[in-house]
Amino acid sequence: MQLALGLARLAALARQDEWRAGEAQGLTPTQGDILTTLAQRAEGMRVGALAAQIHVSQATASDALAALDRKGLIERYADPTDKRATLLRLSRKGRALAKRWPDGFARVIDTLSPKDQAALMGIVVRAIAALERQGAVSRQRMCLSCQFFAENAHPGAARPHHCRLIGAALGEGDLRIDCPEHQEAHAA
């Protein structure tokens, strides 16, 4: 299928920059994925959730975390909600490295107009939501599953959706895939 071929080409290009950065730092692709994932989670993550997020087994994640620990890039601390559980977060050194980490898809996105970027964002968000429902992708903190999200609250407007938390209209390009304020809709 030509669309699949095109997407594979873009993904390969996007990963090149990240792998190059990983090689320069002595990090494997999995360790690089952990670095960029934890960079989005200042509140910390458990190993199981982290493994699900980057689509590796818990054993693979644990090995990668041990290597990141030895390099001083992560910290482990007791979960304040359950003292028996451990949370992971980036160390100061890890945060500094994450800030310098290349955004592999930036080159691809830069070729698109703002309008096409917004349209593509809507397509990507809905594809992820569909895969979530199939159980192929771990639960994301996305607008589409958030109790504060009102889809098409402003029909016909340039920004048709609405976030009740921030009280603002959202366009397709404003939709979030990983929002720290996300609350599951069914928890309402």
- Asked if residue 146 binds ligand SF4 (CB under 6 A), the reply is yes
Element (H, E) at 99: helix 92-100
| Least distance between ligand SF4 and beta carbon 151 (Å) | 10
Name the DSSP class of 113: -
| Least distance between ligand SF4 and beta carbon 162 (Å) | 8
Binding residue for ligand SF4 (CB under 6 A) from 27, 61, 143, 172? 143
Helix, coil or strand: residue 85:
strand
Binding residue for ligand SF4 (CB under 6 A) from 98, 137, 165, 169? 165
- Asked if residue 149 binds ligand SF4 (CB under 6 A), the reply is yes
The dihedral formed by the CA atoms of 135, 127, 53 and 7, expressed in degrees to the nearest 10: 120
User: Over the range 13-51, which residues count as b (16 or more CB within 10 Å of their CB) and which as e?
Assistant: ebeebbbebbeeeebbebbbbbbbbbbebeebbebebbb
- Asked if residue 41 binds ligand SF4 (CB under 6 A), the reply is no
Q: Which range of residues in 59-67, 69-77, 112-120, 179-187 is near ligand SF4 by CB under 6 A?
A: 179-187
- Asked if residue 121 binds ligand SF4 (CB under 6 A), the reply is no
Residues 6+ apart with CB under 8 A from 57: 51
Residues that bind ligand SF4 (CB under 6 A): 143, 146, 148-149, 163, 165-166, 176, 179, 181-182
